[in-house]
Amino acid sequence: MATIGELLDRVSDHLQDLSDKGWSRGEKRERLLRELDSMARDRLFAQVTWIRAVAGTATYTVPGRAVGLESLVYDERPLRFASEETLVLKRRDFERDQRRPRYWTADLQSPGEFRVVPEPIETGSNAPVLPPAGPFNLTHKGRLNFYALAWENPQSQEDEGQEVQVPDWVEKILEFRTVAAISGLEGDFQDLTKSQGFRALADLMLEGQ
């Protein structure tokens, strides 16, 4: 895995802008991180994450840089996804229900938040279970937490010394997409042909996966 700085050097090389005169280093870094966000929103990067369940608390935030939830597990059982409408049909005052959680919803919640219904009546263990382990083979309290299969942006730290948290071949797609994005920007150094060429190569590689 290369560092963000090394990836930016390769992007600068493709752009023929090693001295950062055409576009500033900060601008290139921003574009690279934006492309990574864009790939994350396409649900390409999975992650298993642990969220502590608290008695009486119904709403939780997915830690890290999640863009969506695929599945939630509580007490070794999957919670079923339900829309707000379905929950209201089952019980009009579903927010007041307190039993073992059975459903989860992201409807009408803030981004990155989800709600479990009913809300848990026991607080789970505070000992974190690091991914990709869990959600099985744990103590009783350990099982009473939420284990989320989520889609995320894997890059939690963005300074240039940090390694890009994707395999080399995904880095290459990201590199080409960043070159395409920057060379397509309006301005004196715009090169639509280069932008189109690198974008087409990146798309070709992603389709081939």
Binding residues for other proteins (CB under 8 A)? 10, 13-16, 43-48, 70-71, 73, 76-78, 131-133, 136-137, 149, 151, 165-170, 172, 175, 183, 191-194, 196-201, 203-206, 208-209
Nearest approach in angstroms of CB 173 to other proteins is 8
Residue 95 vs 195, nearer CB to other proteins: 195
Residue 77 vs 96, nearer CB to other proteins: 77
Residue 57 vs 125, nearer CB to other proteins: 125
Nearest approach in angstroms of CB 148 to other proteins is 11
Quote the CA–CA distance of 89 and 125 in Å, as a whole number. 33
Quote the CA–CA distance of 100 and 79 in Å, as a whole number. 10
Nearest approach in angstroms of CB 127 to other proteins is 17
- 15 vs 7, 134, 140, 175, CA distance in Å? 12, 44, 56, 11
**C-alpha torsion 55→58→59→64, nearest 10:** 50
Q: Which amino acid type is present at position 167?
A: P
Nearest approach in angstroms of CB 92 to other proteins is 28
Residue 146 phi/psi, 5-degree rounding, is: -100, 135
Residue 10 vs 100, nearer CB to other proteins: 10
Residue 71 vs 109, nearer CB to other proteins: 71
Q: How far is CA 78 from the centre of its chain?
A: 20
